Chains A and B, each alone.
Chain A
Amino acid sequence: MSGEAERAMRTTTYREALREAMSEAMRADDRVFLMGEDVGRYGGCFGVSLGMLEEFGPERIRDTPLSESAFVGAGIGAALGGMRPIVEIMTVNFSLLALDQILNNAATLLHMSGGQLPVPLVIRMTTGAGRQLAAQHSHSLEGWYAHIPGIRVLAPATVEDARYLLAPALADPDPVLVFEHGSLYNASGELAPLTEPVDLDRARVRRPGTDVSLITYGGCLPKVLAAADELAADGLDPEVVDLRSLRPLDEATIDASVARTHRVVVVDEGWRTGSLAAEVCAGIAERCFYDLDAPVERVCSAEVPIPYARQLEEAALPQVRDVAAAARRTVG
């Protein structure tokens, strides 16, 4: 059995995993189509949909004008009209041009209509810094979106999640926002066949441990795992929790981890003030106060528009050494 599973394991990239997931969904369901800027002939600005136009044609791999509000709104309308659209927005910074549609329509229609109008829509977008793209292509605003009732917010951080989160996201009757950190597209990893149904509500413990909980998501996961290795070399046993779902937050997994380790570091590429990290910390303070043996630590981005110059950008973002230092303070 394990030999069979091992044979079925293969190495792929985050980008290819996303593409496989979309292609599989489109083969399985005629209602699914992909729409966004340069998703067709160009192959996606990050190459995610490369080759899909050839297989599915221009009606289902639909290039749009640079009209974020119109094509996101059209995705919402198409969902109301019985389709299962996947809308790609180039980056989270551009999604601000469609914020009216996402907040005032996608997140709101079900409630405002008294339950008559669910919006089964998936919106994918790139988020995050680390590629010297400066202050209009580098922000991490998924925490803002996680503030909004009525939408689900996912942050796949692994090849496995890139491959397997899309199908349940498309099956969700409500809007799902998927944030893909730009630094992850080239990441490669082992991909095993899916053995059990994916629960979108659940966080994952990526590394079990007993001394400190390092809670993170998305593009910070590889950095946090590297920090955990560093700490382990020093004789500590950190636990790494990958939130995966930013809304709803998996409180049970967070609380169970805190109950084991009694120490917490939350790592979030968003700005500290009003961040998702702040929400996670507040929840821990409310629910796990008596489990804590040290003040909760946060590692977030510096409160600055992300700058272009390499050393400045690096200084603005959470780094492995910052995570390790924060963890050491909690066990200090």
Chain B
Amino acid sequence: MSAERATRPGRTAAAKAGGHHQDLLTAMLRIRRFEERCVELYSGARIRGFVHLCIGEEAVAVGVHRALTPQDAIVSTYRDHGHALARGVPEADVMAEMYGRATGCSGGRGGSMHLFDAERRFYGGNAIVAGGLPLAAGLALADRLCDRSRVTCCFFGDGAFAEGEFHETANLAALWDLPLLLVCENNLYAMGTALPRHQAQTDLAARAASYGMVAWAVDGMDVEAVERAARRAVEGIRAGTGPHFLEARTYRFRAHSMYDPDRYRDKAEIEEWKKRDPIARLTDLMNENGELTKKRLARIEREVAEEIDAAVREAEQAPEEPVADLLRHVTSPPVDAA
């Protein structure tokens, strides 16, 4: 970043950078405001179930997605709102899913933890820690077998390092040179258990590297740093150098889920991390560069709020899936012999 600024780009390049920053900012604000609305809707009992917020972690979802194309695939976790929105799953579809409506992106059968969008190659929030990793390896294997230049990106948390499925998949992916981007969102807590309390060796990138894949850590609170790292990784994967691992060091500002009283973290620690808020950090940079006026920020906020208002309105009015269709989609419909 400093190198880029040091080169003092010309007017067009500066405008381009400003536009890029504005895109990043809008994408992160969309996720944050969407989730803040989720909290209100949850408190008002409009949505139920488990709801896991990624507030504080937006830079990871947004930065990584900037490096991916529509042909690439994404496998997410139960903390999947940010990934889905960054992927471009319409807010109305995500919100309708939170409402359990027929128009939801999973037809009301998944809820917050299981957002799917096959058209956008978004293969879902997986609510078993590390359970999405083998699946992602399989998507990457299919691409390899078909000689397709696509990348599969799998998100998971630091908690996944305690699961066999992470280690089995890391080995398999490296052994088979799979076009797989492993993104560990290390927010320092496996639910309520701090990283040093669940891992004997807390240098996660070093452990991933031990499987024989390119691995490095990045500041997950810096959206541009995440984007750069992800682009580098994706380039490497497309060039055929096998799976890459990215440890994004991040932090969730909210509790693990709506049920979590958050008794296991020091308030001072949370406040300390909030000073590194990825959204504030980007707006500061943009202000410094003269890329953002109060008016422009207000306009972005207004547009995002309008999008979310519209999504909530649509979800409120969306039809419920009829109970008569309870058993639909358990198995595929029989193929018509005619």
Q: Which residues of A contact B (CB under 8 A)?
A: 33, 59-60, 64-65, 67, 69-83, 85, 100-101, 104-105, 109-118, 149-150, 152, 172-174
CA A77 – CA B330 in complex, angstroms? 18
Additional pairs, 11, CB under 8 Å, beyond known A100-B128, A174-B331: A65-B172, A73-B169, A74-B135, A80-B123, A82-B146, A110-B332, A113-B124, A114-B106, A114-B116, A117-B116, A174-B332
| B175 at interface, CB cutoff 8 A | yes
Tell me the minimal C-beta distance from B224 to chain A in angstroms.
31
Interface core residue of B73, B135, B139, B168 (most chain A CB under 10 Å) = B135
A-B contact pairs, 19 of them (CB 8 A): A65-B175, A73-B134, A73-B135, A74-B169, A77-B139, A81-B142, A83-B141, A83-B142, A100-B165, A101-B131, A110-B330, A110-B331, A113-B106, A113-B118, A114-B106, A116-B117, A117-B116, A152-B331, A174-B332
Q: Contacts A73-B169, A100-B131, A117-B123; is A110 near B138 (CB within 8 Å)? A: no
Say yes or no for B143: interface residue by CB 8 A criterion: yes
What is the 8 Å Cβ interface bit string for chain B, positions 108-151, against chain A (1 contact, 0 not)?
A: 11100010111000011010100101111111111101100000
B interface, size bucket: 35 or more
| Given known contacts A65-B168, A73-B169, A111-B330, A117 and B118 CB-to-CB distance under 8 angstroms | yes
Q: Is B134 within 8 A of A74, CB to CB?
A: yes
A78 near B138 (CB under 8 angstroms)? yes
Q: Looking at the complex, which one of A105, A114, A149 makes contact with B104 (CB distance below 8 Å)?
A: A114
B5 part of interface (Cβ distance < 8 Å): no
Chain B residues whose C-beta falls within 8 Å of the C-beta of A150 in the assembled complex: 330-331
A104 in contact with B138 (CB, 8 Å): no
B329 interface residue per 8 A CB criterion: yes
Contact of B135 among A77, A83, A111, A116 (CB under 8 A): A77
| Residues in A whose Cβ lies below 8 Å from that of B105 | 114
Q: CB of B236 within 8 A of chain A?
A: no
Q: Is B164 engaged at the interface, CB distance under 8 Å to the other chain?
A: yes
Task: Name the prevailing secondary structure of the B interface residues.
Answer: mixed
Nearest first, the 5 closest Cβ-Cβ pairs linking A and B are A77-B138, A73-B134, A114-B107, A81-B142, A70-B168
Please name all residues of chain B whose beta carbon is closer than 8 Å to the beta carbon of A80 when the two chains form the complex.
123, 135, 138-139, 142
> Which residues from chain B contact A113 at a C-beta distance below 8 Å?
106-107, 109-110, 114, 116, 118, 124, 329
A116-B139 in contact given A72-B134, A80-B123, A101-B131 (Cβ < 8 Å): no
Q: Does B257 contact A (CB under 8 A)?
A: no
Question: In chain A, what residue has the closest Cβ to B143?
Answer: A81
Tell me how far the C-beta of B276 lies from the nearest C-beta in chain A, rounded to whole angstroms.
Answer: 35
CA distance A83 to B123 in the complex (A): 16
Cβ A112 vs Cβ B106 within 8 A: yes
B26 proximal to A (CB < 8 A): no
**Which residues of the partner chain A approach B136 to less than 8 Å between Cβ atoms?**
77
> Contacts A113-B124, A114-B108 hold; do A70 and B146 have CB atoms under 8 A apart?
no
Residue of B nearest to A87 (CB): B138
Q: B109: which A residues are within 8 A, CB to CB?
A: 111-114
- Are B123 and A64 in contact, CB atoms less than 8 angstroms apart? no
The answer on a CB contact under 8 Å between B142 and A110 is: no
